[in-house]
């Protein structure tokens, strides 16, 4: 019942009666009418209402139009033979009058339907544009809220670090490859968490063929902690890397995209001891 009522309120039945739907849409309306008696009854009511309105607002055709109509009818009217039974008095005139009223009614109906359809299409187009604009605004707002929520959580994490002695802040300085390079690594010794601070990262932007790779030096041996890209418009302050239980130092090298099994020593750009 709710589906049928919602379908009636959509306005598609009026377009169906006016013949403004595609073949597929007409099939859909007819299927709904067969399924829901209230839809079928509404179609009938719309047809009767339009017919009543057209008859009520029928316009008397001009004398010129009336002459043209009579001429067309006379041209196609078969000539009576000698065996034809004459029409009763007034029969021909009655048919002409009925046709004239019907034509005037159709003209009035088409005019009203055209105006209504144009108005409906205009309002529908405006409504669609408004809906699209609202959806876009909603998406932008949701993105902003998510960004602010994540940023607030990350800033709170950084603010809480001094109160937790297990958090170690390791500052990496540039090597001869780039003396100006620098970055900060946060390492939670018991939780094994390793994070990079985007807000305190100063590395040359890598190209599409390369990525930076973070290493932990454990008793002189490098351990891969994952790769990352330098992005000025990063949506996160903290970048989560692979976990590590123990480390003596951290280093960053520039490797081919996807990372390398071992560090390329002449591409080491920054390093710092714990």
Chain segment 24-48, per-residue pLDDT in tens: 989 999 999 999 899 899 888 888 8
- Arithmetic mean of pLDDT, 206-219: 95
Model confidence at 74: pLDDT above 50 = yes
User: Given this model, what pLDDT does residue 7 score?
Assistant: 83
151 lies in some domain: no
- 131 and 171 share one domain: no
51 lies in some domain: yes
147 lies in some domain: no
Q: Print the domain residue range for 181.
A: 166-273
Task: Output the CA torsion sign for 194, 199, 201, 207.
Answer: positive
| Higher-scoring residue by pLDDT: 221, 85 | 221
Rounded CA-CA distance 186/172 in Å is 11
Helix runs in the chain, H state only: 2-9, 12-18, 23-35, 37-56, 63-76, 91-160
Top-confidence range, 77-91, 191-205, 229-243 = 191-205
239 lies in some domain: yes
- 123 and 197 share one domain: no
Q: Which helix (H) or strand (E) holds 222?
A: strand 221-228
User: Given this model, what pLDDT does residue 161 score?
Assistant: 85
User: Given this model, what pLDDT does residue 218 score?
Assistant: 94
161 lies in some domain: no
- 207 and 251 share one domain: yes
23, 138, 168 from 237: Cα distances, Å: 55, 24, 17
Give 122-132 pLDDT, tens digit per residue.
776 677 777 77
User: Given this model, what pLDDT does residue 85 score?
Assistant: 40
- 75 and 191 share one domain: no
- 113 and 178 share one domain: no
157 lies in some domain: no
Number of domains into which the chain is organized: 2
In this prediction the pTM is: 0.47
Rounded CA-CA distance 178/132 in Å is 49
């Amino acid at each position: 019942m709710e589906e049928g009522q919602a379908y009636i309120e959509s306005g598609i039945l009026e377009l169906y009666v006016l013949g403004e739907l595609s073949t597929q849409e007409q099939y859909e309306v007819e299927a709904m009418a067969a399924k829901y008696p209230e839809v079928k009854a509404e179609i009938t009511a719309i047809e009767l209402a339009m017919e009543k309105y057209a008859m009520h607002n029928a316009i008397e055709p001009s004398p010129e139009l009336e002459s043209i109509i009579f001429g067309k009818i006379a041209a196609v009217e078969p000539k009576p033979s000698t065996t034809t039974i004459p029409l009763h008095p007034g029969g021909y005139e009655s048919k002409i009058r009925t046709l004239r009223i019907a034509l005037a009614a159709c003209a009035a109906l088409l005019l009203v339907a055209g105006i209504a359809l144009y108005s409906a299409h205009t309002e529908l187009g405006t409504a669609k544009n408004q809906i699209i604009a609202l959806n876009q605004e909603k998406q932008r707002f949701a993105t902003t809220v998510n960004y602010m929520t994540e940023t607030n959580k990350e800033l709170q994490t950084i603010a809480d670090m001094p109160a937790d002695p297990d958090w170690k802040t390791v500052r990496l300085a540039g090597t001869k490859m780039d003396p100006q390079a620098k970055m900060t690594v946060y390492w939670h010794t018991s939780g094994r968490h390793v994070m990079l601070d985007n807000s305190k990262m100063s590395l040359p932007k890598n190209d599409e063929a390369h990525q930076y790779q973070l290493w932990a030096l454990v008793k002189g041996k490098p351990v891969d902690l994952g790769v990352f890209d330098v992005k000025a418009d990063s949506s996160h302050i903290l970048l989560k890397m692979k976990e590590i239980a123990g480390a003596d130092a951290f280093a960053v090298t520039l490797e081919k995209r996807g990372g390398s099994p071992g560090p390329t020593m002449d591409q080491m750009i920054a390093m710092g001891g714990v």
